[in-house]
Amino acid sequence: MSQTRTSMDVEKAFHMTGGVEETSYARNSSLQKKASDMVKHITIETIQQLYLTTTPRSLGIADLGCSSGPNTLSFIKDIFDAVEGTSSQTLLPAPEFRVYLNDLPTNDFNTIFKALPDFYKELRKGSNGRPSIFIAGFPGSFYGRLFPNNCLHFIYSSYSLHWLSQVPPALYDEQGRSINKGNIYISKSSPPSVSELYLRQFQEDFALFLRSRSEELIEGGRMVLILLGRRGPDHADRGNTFFWELLSRSLAILVSWGEVEEEKLHSYAVNFYAPTKEEIEEEVRREGSFELDRVEMFEIEKDGADDMSYGTQVARTVRAIQESMISLHFGEGIADSLFENYGRLVDEEMAKEDIRPITFLLVLRKSMI
């Protein structure tokens, strides 16, 4: 029987590649940083409005799905600078900052913690003495409660909420065989029930996320959420499924080379879902704890790094995200050849058609009781 993966498996095994080596998330998360920078003005505007309307003495902030790279510290500095600047302009006392960094327990929190002394030193340059900022790690799944009641003012999550708590269990029959054989995500050849199973898993997860955060935020607290999505109702829309189709093809190449068992490919699936604007809005309305103040849809401009092609850049990014789950399922040792093939396929396909996945930015406000 092929091994299927439960939510417990994902919680124990799914993590970005830690450390600061060549294949680490820390060195391969520039695409995510580029996207968050494109909408940074909205994040800053939201935290400034929140600060001015609540003027807290102690400001509670959480970054959910912080991972282990430099992006989370860049976000904290942006928030710190924005609030400090607003407080000095309005002559309000600057608050202390309580910052909670959350990710799954397998996340490499140590890489972040090792960077903190230099980070504090950097913050200190622009303020008098040591800034009143206290940073802590909070391991655990954000599909459930993480923090005490009413302790947070602002929640941020960038490129995390398209990851589901689990692969939809009903994708597998009683023998552990996938009903989506040959695909690792929704595709044109998937049975219609596959997209419905993924949608249902997203609805359950997102509702639980909203319900949990509503307990942890103060009334009027804000969330800024950045996640991948899709334009319209077609679940197999190219902009959404393209990169997973190429990963399936890259795995199939290794099957043809005898490096991967065919049955292993047929039983692999990703814990991912890219919702539409309407699906997000419907779940927010149904759950009822938040008002959706703003929804922005945007694309990231395609450009390669100076020393590598766009396909290689994408391959390194996807490897830093997926390697933990791929190694668990297929075994160690296939990553180099898998992602070499993948980068080449991305470059070949992009030469034929410019495909840009879309991203949503959501600003949510906890409803007043």
Per-residue pLDDT reduced to its tens digit, 154-177: 999 999 999 999 999 999 888 778
Could you give the percent of the chain with pLDDT greater than 90? 48
Buried residues in 335-347 as b, exposed as e (16+ CB within 10 A):
beebbebbbbbbb
Residue 173 pLDDT: 83
Higher pLDDT, 48 or 66: 48
Q: Side chain identity at 232, as an amino acid letter?
A: G
Q: Provide DSSP, 246-282.
A: HHHHHHHHHHHTTSS-HHHHHT----B----HHHHHH
Report the distance separating Cα 242 and Cα 253, nearest Å. 17
**Average pLDDT in the chain:** 85
Predicted confidence band of residue 363 (pLDDT cuts 50, 70, 90):
very high
Average pLDDT for 199-226: 97
Residues 6+ apart with CB under 8 A from 351: none
Span 104-108, average pLDDT: 86
Give Cα 123 distance to the centre of its chain.
26
Cβ burial, residue 352 (10 Å; 0-12/13-18/19+): exposed
- pLDDT value for 202: 97
Give the model confidence (pLDDT) of 187-207 as tens digits. Answer: 888 999 999 999 999 999 999
d(CA 90, CA 103): 35
Q: What are phi and psi of 193, to 5 degrees?
A: -65, -25
Residue 138's pLDDT band, with cuts at 50, 70 and 90, is very high
Q: Is the distance from CB of 274 to CB of 354 less than 8 angstroms?
A: no
**316 burial class (0-12, 13-18, 19+ CB within 10 angstroms)?**
buried
Partners of residue 297 on adjacent β-strands: 360
> Average pLDDT of 138-150?
95
Q: What is the DSSP letter of 91?
A: T
pLDDT given for residue 72 in this prediction: 83
53 falls in which pLDDT band (50, 70, 90)? very high
Higher pLDDT, 19 or 271: 271
DSSP state of 26: G
Of 199 and 261, the one with more pLDDT: 199
Report for 180-189, 272-281, 339-348: range of highest mean pLDDT: 272-281
Sign of the torsion angle spanned by Cα atoms 155, 158, 162, 165: negative
Q: What pLDDT, on the 0 to 100 scale, is given for residue 175?
A: 77
CA distances from 152 to 86, 222, 249, 347, 358 (A): 19, 9, 44, 43, 29
Two tokens, residue 14: 């799914």
> Six-digit token pair at 114?
């090792």
Q: How high is the pLDDT of residue 71? A: 77
Residues 239/244/247/249 CA torsion (nearest 10 deg): -80
Question: Considering only 36-40, 265-269, 305-309, 333-337, which range has the smallest mean pLDDT?
Answer: 305-309
75, with CB counted inside 10 A (0-12, 13-18, 19+), is buried
How confident is residue 272, by pLDDT bands cut at 50, 70 and 90?
A: very high
Per the CB < 8 A criterion, the answer to whether 272 and 286 are in contact is no
Confidence band for 2, pLDDT divided at 50, 70 and 90: very low
pTM for this prediction: 0.91
> Mean of the pLDDT values across residues 318-334?
82
Percent of the chain with pLDDT over 70: 87
Of 66-75, 133-142, 194-203, the one with minimum mean pLDDT is: 66-75
Q: Is residue 140 within 8 Å of residue 105, measured between CB atoms? A: yes
Distance, CA of 105 to CA of 72 (rounded, Å): 17
pLDDT for residue 328:
82
SS3 308: coil
Whether 134 has a pLDDT exceeding 70, the answer reads: yes
What Cα–Cα distance (Å) separates residue 345 from each residue in 207, 314, 336? 36, 11, 14
> What is the per-residue pLDDT for 107?
83
Q: Is the pLDDT of residue 89 over 50?
A: yes
Q: How confident is the model at residue 26 (pLDDT cuts 50, 70, 90)?
A: very low
Q: How do the residues of the chain divide into helix, strand and coil, expressed in percent and rounded to 5?
A: 45, 20, 35
Q: Is 45 helix (H, G, I), strand (E, B) or coil?
A: helix
